[in-house]
Structures are given as C-alpha cells and as structure tokens.
A and B are shown apart, each in its own frame.
Chain A
Amino acid sequence: MGRMKFLCDAERCIECNGCVTACKNENEVPWGVNRRRVVTMNDGVPGERSLSVACMHCSDAPCMAVCPTNCFYKTEEGVVLHDKDMCIGCGYCFFACPFGAPQFPNGPAAFGDRGKMDKCTFCAGGPEETGSKEEFAKYGSNRLAEGKLPACAEMCSTKALLAGDSSTVSDIFRDRVLRRGKGLEAWGWMTAYGAEQKEGAQ
C-alpha cells in the first residue's frame, strides 16, 4: 500500500456540502471547527468550479516541519496525525499549511486561547486506543480501523471526492478523464496521471 490521499474532481463537485456535513456528523466536530469545507471559485459566474478542501495529508507536510513540540506523526499508510496532548495551540501549523487545514476551537491551551489544534484525520482516529471513547472525543471516528474510507468521500453524492490509496485514486481519475475526452491537455497531466500505476510508490 502506498499513500492515503484525497482527490476532488472539480468537474463533478456540485457544492452540496454533503462532505462537510458528513465529516461534522461522523466526528462530532465542535462548533467553529470545519475539518472540511467546500471552496467555490468564480461563484455565480458561468463556469464556476467548486472543490472540497481539507488536510491533504502531504507527503512532506509543512505542519510537521514547523511544530515546536513535534506533536505530528505520519502513519505507515501516509496519514498525517497529531497528538493533542502535546499541542500547545501556538498556531504555527495554521500559518504553514497551504490548505488552511488546522482549525482551532477557541479553548484553553498552554499558549494563547486558540485551543488545541483540530484537523482532518482521514477518519483514522489518533494516538489513543483504537475505538475508545478517548480517541473519539479527541480525534473523532476511526473508520480506517474498520476497513472503511473517510466519511466525506463515502458520502459524496457525485463521487467528486475520492479517497484511498493514491494509486487507486489516480486510476479512477485517469479513467474518468479519458472517458470524458477532455482534461488530458491540462498542465501537469502527464506528470500526475500519465505514468503507469506504480504499486507501493512512496
């Protein structure tokens, strides 16, 4: 298995916010925190495009690089997670993240009043006993341990949001675009999707 990744197909996303709702419901995310949100470009203009954005579980995650308490870790399957007991709520990860993934619930923490950082876990829980109450309270659901994909992707009505092993996700997207007959001319297509599937690519 390679790396767990999300991919949102802008040609399919209809801005229904089903992924946002599924995430909030599945993980019982507190008020003021949206682990996932839908961003629309050129809203209201013909040809507008929407994308569902959350933590992209970067291969070389900037949040991990800047964290002063080293509370981030990457699992064997490539999911970026963090230990909330170590988080001091400094907000460095928020400034480093290009996707605005780290969220702060405005609560007590060792540093300021942002509270401990909360972000998408790829529905993989966190560093607590799998399936325990503590894990759910701090990090939300652990669907990966049940052999399920993240709730946002599974609930996506148009299957715009794909999740799973990067090679499988790229295969699905590649096939879609080939059937669509357009998109192959997009910049970077050959780099991202033109190559043959590489099992276990790092």
Chain B
Amino acid sequence: MNAPRLMSMLAAAALLAGLSACSESPQVTTYEQGKYQGKADSQPWDSPVFKGDKAAWEHAMKQRARGQHEYNRIP
C-alpha cells in the first residue's frame, strides 16, 4: 500500500470517527408536579367558632362577602 492511499484512508477514518460524535440524543426533560412537603393545615371551619360545621362557615363567609355590597344596605 502506497503512502498517499494510506493517508487518504486514515483521513477518511478520522472523518468518520469525528462525525460519529455528531449524533443527537433527545434532550427534552419531563417535569414532575411538586407535592407539598410541609406540615398539614387544619380547615378554617375546624375552629372553635364553627366546630367543624363547614356549611355554617360557608354561609357566614358568604354573608360577610355580600355585606361589602353597599347597594344592598340601602333600603
């Protein structure tokens, strides 16, 4: 095998080896939904005022919120 031919073969092999690193692997990550890691909290209706009565709490909150509407206060 003559020298130029050997050189060209080596160059071709080097080129192939270089291109082999150009493959593209998928880089899309998957995001996971976080989950609360802290202490548990109690519900607002589990208070000494409402004693676990959710309906009473909701009614009280609704009345309070509606009280912000001053047109309703005008007779």
- Chain A residues packing against B (C-beta within 8 Å): 1, 64-65, 67, 69-73, 75-77, 81-83, 85-86, 124-131, 142, 144-149, 153, 159, 162-165, 168-169, 171-172, 175-176, 179
Q: In angstroms, how far is the closest chain B Cβ from the Cβ of A179?
A: 7
From A142, A162, A168, A179, B71 is in contact (CB under 8 Å) with A179
**B36 and A72 form a contact (CB under 8 A):** yes
Q: B-side interface residues toward A, CB under 8 Å?
A: 34-50, 57-58, 60-62, 64-66, 68-71
Q: Closest A-chain residue to B56, C-beta based?
A: A147
Asked whether A69 lies within 8 Å of B37 as measured between CB atoms, the reply is: yes
Closest to B60 in A: A147
> Taking the nearest CB of chain B, how far is it from the CB of A154, in angstroms?
8
A-B contact pairs, 19 of them (CB 8 A): A70-B35, A70-B36, A70-B37, A70-B38, A71-B38, A73-B36, A85-B38, A125-B41, A129-B42, A130-B48, A145-B44, A147-B49, A147-B50, A147-B61, A149-B61, A168-B62, A172-B65, A175-B69, A175-B71
**A17→B44 CA distance, assembly (Å):** 28
Given A1-B58, A70-B37, A82-B38, residue A145 in contact with residue B68 (CB < 8 A): no
Q: What's the Cα separation between A185 and B58 when bound, in Å?
A: 33
